[in-house]
Chains A and B, each alone.
Chain A
């Protein structure tokens, strides 16, 4: 036994001095792999769902994604520009999470930081460098206070931080709106905004007219947060409190102090993000300017798995969606809201990792079945594939029923549209049942096939040959496959899909 541990020790010693081994260890860590699979899987699933949505609403999916990608690559400075505030707010949420806290309020902290920076920016006159520094520091400090308050309430009064931080976000938005409507309003302007900050307070631009110095601050913040969490006594204590407050207390760590401080620092990070936006780009504080940079921070932290470097990657990804989305809107005509749909779906899938686990488990199931029982398994797989295809085609031609209305048969068009929509739902359900290898899935596919044939007939009445051919092919093939599975391979092992 002791020999074993001694051997292990030698390996450890070697590993400690080899950075490549460290990376290898991280990559071979099952939990890291799992997170990576979940994150990429979520992104892929979200893109699949969004492409179906785009098909449904009649956009050119290929062109949309191409312009999105192209926009993100050609305008990388804007990608980074959009990513900058998200890095700050993402870090804010991630840091609080390491201490077991859900900071839902970076939006409010961003506003407090921003107003602080704006006030110092236009009311105080200081030499360059010192001015920027003071403004940034004051904004950060306001953010710190605005995070510390719910932290203290949580630590010493037990108020749940989700409630307080969220409510305080709205307070901050409204409070700053009042400030710029009355006491701080630039009276020369119609809009509710402060006067522009002095030139001495502006952060220098890096490239182009968007990307500014706050990006460098953001990257420094990533490094600093990583260092704080992993390499300092304070970070160690925060993580201890986050993981197990009772054990931390037993070991002499003061959980209350750490909780208050963690939310305070989280607030400071968001506040610095807000200050950077004002000093680097907006140059004045306008009522309601951020439109959700703080809320997006929560999303970024979720996708980045609350890891500082993960947050950086997730923020850049979101920045790319934003910058590419603008291009997509301009060229492919797809509204920018589609990007927000993608963001929302990603969070949905990341937050529900079991969906991806379930899918990959089903995939493994099929693979093993294919190995042992090739022919019936591949027919069954083809049926599942047909169900999926049927659902997607349903949704994509759903939009084209308007063609029928134009053809002068509005009644038929409406019926076809309704039928297609129902069939798509049935097909999706059939696919799920088939993946679980339930016999009901086959019956549903058969039902969908009949509906397709009906649609073909209606399409013939309406005179739309495209719909006729599509429907005929899908209907016939689905029907054939169902008959094959049911009649030719009746001994197919159904209901063996493992634990569902």
Chain B
């Protein structure tokens, strides 16, 4: 690839700002310069704006303001095609592969080499009538094989994507960028889906890239990775660039502080907890997710009545599966879940609910609400089969006037802003949708509340409101399991904090006796010497 000896920066992003239609400022005036041939770590929490920034560089999103320079040349990227032509490649967190097609077919997608015309390295987009010509599959497979050998990415070009492991799928994505002659490679959370062994393989590959003089941008929220691989590390927080540091000059502690060390925004008024007897007891719980990968590895936990136990952790470390296993949505492989001493392992969701468990799901659109139902219908969901909603022979007739009355009461108590309880749930704002779920779940008079990311995407007012409701439920004696990716939320609402990493509880802390930095390190998998002793409750 052409590169003048004078070029110092592979990529320069100047004053990039991006506001999404919903009003979320994902990037605020970010200036970032990436040197030719370096591994640059881009660190930040979920929603810090890392992926947005890189999607702008890749031409996937448009910037509102600012300039992009690739090798000193200012560019206006209309689409990823423009970025690819300039040697930028991106491996997305969620792979963009077509499962039934082979590796070769996936790699050449959009750049199908036409037989006879493309034996050389020249890549042309197939268009018009050339798309009717036969494709040179063998030539493409040879090229893929050569790329794979040169970079230590062993793969069978004829294998189907659906038959190969996630780690190999990622290789295909990397080969895809190399096939397009990319020498600036962006990797978005590359290790989030990999096993430890696959992570080691990836690191070897990235070392090879470095030796070959490629520029690598590594997006991550795990501290270990940039500390191992990167030359320089930039930290983003809330859409702002906090700083860029050399690896030699920094420490995991400093990075953790840069990443999460913002002033606490929320202040929850709450008195001391009065823990009673154990409500939820989890013993050696092991759960596999829907793909059959073990997501929860032998967790032991207890939640007492009148207590909020916060589960802190970066998303994808098993907290979703833990909650779904308790709610009866996922079957556990091993271990027991006890509610007030009664075994509820393996019960179906309705039986778990009947036993006194309420569940505020983490994805309100997928699991929490039925958007095509009215607010009244949503408010009865989960209790619709019992009195006072279900009447008549065999409790098969819905008493809608009951549902209306109770919904009116909920709307009043939880001050949900609705024009009409018969309008569809999809017409509500996100905060009010969440309030509908919270109102419905908490009005069931639960013994245990599973609150998964209960304030995600909500504004300050709604967040505060839901926090206060949770605290008042605690004071009334409910046991609450709060799962959140927000450290602020965990620290200000919880009475005890359990840190989850890689499907295991790595530490249990009192909020007063810990700091955001310490939790940040634990969440990022940085084991403390003394914390492992406290890991088991």
Residues 329-372 of B, flagged 1 when their CB comes within 8 A of A and 0 if not, give: 10000000000000000001111111000010100001111111
Q: Report the Cα distance A415→B105, complex, angstroms.
A: 49
Question: Does A233 contact B385, Cβ atoms closer than 8 Å?
Answer: yes
Within 8 Å by CB of B381, from A11, A232, A246, A251, lies A251
Question: Does B367 contact A246, Cβ atoms closer than 8 Å?
Answer: yes
Judge whether B408 is part of the interface by a CB distance below 8 angstroms: yes
Within 8 Å by CB of B373, from A9, A240, A249, lies A240
Q: Report the Cα distance A250→B416, complex, angstroms.
A: 22
Q: How many residues of B contact A (CB 8 A)?
A: 44
Judge whether B377 is part of the interface by a CB distance below 8 angstroms: yes
Within 8 Å by CB of B398, from A4, A12, A233, A246, lies A233
Residues of B within 8 A of A16 (CB): 401, 404
Question: Does A249 contact B401, Cβ atoms closer than 8 Å?
Answer: no
Question: Does B419 contact A8, Cβ atoms closer than 8 Å?
Answer: yes
Residues of A within 8 A of B350 (CB): 252-254
Judge whether B261 is part of the interface by a CB distance below 8 angstroms: no
Within 8 Å by CB of A243, from B329, B359, B372, lies B372
Smallest Cβ-Cβ distance to B368: which chain A residue? A247
Residues of A within 8 A of B367 (CB): 246-247, 249-250
Nearest-Cβ distance from residue A480 to partner chain B, whole angstroms: 39
Q: Report the Cα distance A16→B371, complex, angstroms.
A: 22
Judge whether B418 is part of the interface by a CB distance below 8 angstroms: yes
Residues of A within 8 A of B259 (CB): none
Residues 1-24 of A, flagged 1 when their CB comes within 8 A of B and 0 if not, give: 110111011011000100000000
Q: Report the Cα distance A100→B362, complex, angstroms.
A: 24
Instruction: Given A240-B381, A247-B366, A252-B349, output 12 extra A-B contacts at Cβ < 8 Å.
Output: A1-B415, A4-B417, A5-B416, A5-B417, A8-B418, A16-B401, A232-B398, A233-B390, A243-B373, A247-B368, A250-B359, A250-B367
Q: Take A16-B404, A252-B348 as given contacts and tell me if A237 and B366 are in contact as well, using a CB distance cutoff of 8 Å.
A: no
Nearest-Cβ distance from residue A239 to partner chain B, whole angstroms: 7
Question: Does A233 contact B400, Cβ atoms closer than 8 Å?
Answer: no
- Residues A229-244 near B (CB distance < 8 A): 231-237, 239-240, 243-244
Q: Take A5-B416, A12-B420, A244-B371 as given contacts and tell me if A250 and B398 are in contact as well, using a CB distance cutoff of 8 Å.
A: no
Residues 89-126 of B, flagged 1 when their CB comes within 8 A of A and 0 if not, give: 00000000000000000000000000000000000000
Residues of A within 8 A of B421 (CB): 12
Q: Report the Cα distance A231→B391, complex, angstroms.
A: 11
Nearest-Cβ distance from residue A13 to partner chain B, whole angstroms: 8
Q: Is the interface of A mostly helix, strand, loop or mixed?
A: helix
Residues of B within 8 A of A244 (CB): 366, 369-372
Judge whether B138 is part of the interface by a CB distance below 8 angstroms: no
Smallest Cβ-Cβ distance to B327: which chain A residue? A250
Q: Report the Cα distance A2→B465, complex, angstroms.
A: 14
Question: Does A232 contact B396, Cβ atoms closer than 8 Å?
Answer: yes
Judge whether B395 is part of the interface by a CB distance below 8 angstroms: yes
Residues of B within 8 A of A9 (CB): 408, 411-412
Judge whether A248 is part of the interface by a CB distance below 8 angstroms: yes
Judge whether B384 is part of the interface by a CB distance below 8 angstroms: yes
Judge whether B527 is part of the interface by a CB distance below 8 angstroms: no
Judge whether B397 is part of the interface by a CB distance below 8 angstroms: yes
The 7 closest A-B pairs by CB, nearest first: A252-B350, A251-B382, A243-B372, A250-B367, A251-B381, A252-B349, A244-B370
Q: Report the Cα distance A233→B327, complex, angstroms.
A: 22
- Residues A271-299 near B (CB distance < 8 A): none
Q: Take A5-B417, A247-B366, A249-B329 as given contacts and tell me if A233 and B381 are in contact as well, using a CB distance cutoff of 8 Å.
A: no
Residues 211-236 of A, flagged 1 when their CB comes within 8 A of B and 0 if not, give: 00000000000000000000111111
Q: Report the Cα distance A236→B381, complex, angstroms.
A: 9
Residues of B within 8 A of A248 (CB): 370, 381
Residues 200-226 of B, flagged 1 when their CB comes within 8 A of A and 0 if not, give: 000000000000000000000000000
CB<8 Å pairs between A and B, sample of 27: A2-B415, A4-B417, A5-B411, A5-B417, A9-B412, A12-B408, A12-B420, A12-B422, A16-B404, A25-B422, A231-B397, A233-B385, A233-B389, A235-B398, A236-B377, A237-B385, A244-B366, A244-B369, A244-B371, A247-B367, A247-B369, A249-B329, A250-B367, A250-B382, A251-B353, A251-B382, A252-B350
Smallest Cβ-Cβ distance to B354: which chain A residue? A252
Q: Take A2-B412, A240-B370, A249-B329 as given contacts and tell me if A254 and B348 are in contact as well, using a CB distance cutoff of 8 Å.
A: yes
Residues of B within 8 A of A231 (CB): 397-398, 400
Q: Report the Cα distance A151→B461, complex, angstroms.
A: 46
Nearest-Cβ distance from residue B500 to partner chain A, whole angstroms: 21
Residues of A within 8 A of B354 (CB): 252
Within 8 Å by CB of B353, from A234, A235, A247, A252, lies A252
Report, as a range, how many residues of chain A touch the other chain: 20 to 34
Residues of B within 8 A of A240 (CB): 370, 373, 381
Q: Take A16-B404, A233-B390, A251-B349 as given contacts and tell me if A239 and B384 are in contact as well, using a CB distance cutoff of 8 Å.
A: no
Q: Report the Cα distance A240→B377, complex, angstroms.
A: 9
Nearest-Cβ distance from residue A489 to partner chain B, whole angstroms: 35
Residues of B within 8 A of A247 (CB): 361, 366-370, 381
Residues of B within 8 A of A233 (CB): 384-385, 389-390, 395-398
Q: Report the Cα distance A340→B182, complex, angstroms.
A: 57
Residues 99-128 of A, flagged 1 when their CB comes within 8 A of B and 0 if not, give: 000000000000000000000000000000
Nearest-Cβ distance from residue A252 to partner chain B, whole angstroms: 3
Q: Report the Cα distance A231→B402, complex, angstroms.
A: 12
Q: Take A243-B373, A252-B348 as given contacts and tell me if A237 and B384 are in contact as well, using a CB distance cutoff of 8 Å.
A: yes
Residues of B within 8 A of A243 (CB): 370-373
Q: Report the Cα distance A239→B372, complex, angstroms.
A: 9
Smallest Cβ-Cβ distance to B376: which chain A residue? A12
Most buried by B among A9, A11, A25, A251: A251
Q: Report the Cα distance A252→B9, complex, angstroms.
A: 56
Nearest-Cβ distance from residue B380 to partner chain A, whole angstroms: 8
Q: Report the Cα distance A247→B412, complex, angstroms.
A: 24
Q: Report the Cα distance A248→B385, complex, angstroms.
A: 12
Within 8 Å by CB of A250, from B361, B372, B397, lies B361
Smallest Cβ-Cβ distance to A8: which chain B residue? B419
Nearest-Cβ distance from residue B323 to partner chain A, whole angstroms: 11
Q: Take A233-B390, A234-B396 as given contacts and tell me if A5 and B415 are in contact as well, using a CB distance cutoff of 8 Å.
A: yes
- Residues B292-345 near A (CB distance < 8 A): 327, 329
Q: Report the Cα distance A13→B460, complex, angstroms.
A: 32
Question: Does B366 contact A246, Cβ atoms closer than 8 Å?
Answer: yes
Q: Report the Cα distance A248→B400, complex, angstroms.
A: 19
Q: Report the Cα distance A58→B327, complex, angstroms.
A: 69
- Residues A380-409 near B (CB distance < 8 A): none
Most buried by B among A2, A25, A247: A247
Nearest-Cβ distance from residue B374 to partner chain A, whole angstroms: 11
Residues of A within 8 A of B327 (CB): 250
Residues of A within 8 A of B420 (CB): 8, 11-12
Residues of B within 8 A of A5 (CB): 411-412, 415-418
Q: Report the Cα distance A375→B57, complex, angstroms.
A: 49
Nearest-Cβ distance from residue A3 to partner chain B, whole angstroms: 11
Residues of A within 8 A of B372 (CB): 243-244
Q: Report the Cα distance A235→B385, complex, angstroms.
A: 11
Nearest-Cβ distance from residue B426 to partner chain A, whole angstroms: 10
Smallest Cβ-Cβ distance to B328: which chain A residue? A252
Q: Report the Cα distance A392→B46, complex, angstroms.
A: 60
Residues of A within 8 A of B422 (CB): 12, 25
Nearest-Cβ distance from residue B259 to partner chain A, whole angstroms: 32
Q: Report the Cα distance A413→B348, complex, angstroms.
A: 76
Residues of A within 8 A of B359 (CB): 250
- Residues B415-433 near A (CB distance < 8 A): 415-422
Nearest-Cβ distance from residue B217 to partner chain A, whole angstroms: 35
Q: Report the Cα distance A253→B370, complex, angstroms.
A: 13
Residues of A within 8 A of B361 (CB): 247, 250
Nearest-Cβ distance from residue A234 to partner chain B, whole angstroms: 6
Q: Report the Cα distance A234→B396, complex, angstroms.
A: 7
Question: Does B411 contact A236, Cβ atoms closer than 8 Å?
Answer: no
Residues of A within 8 A of B400 (CB): 231
Residues 452-476 of B, flagged 1 when their CB comes within 8 A of A and 0 if not, give: 0000000000000000000000000
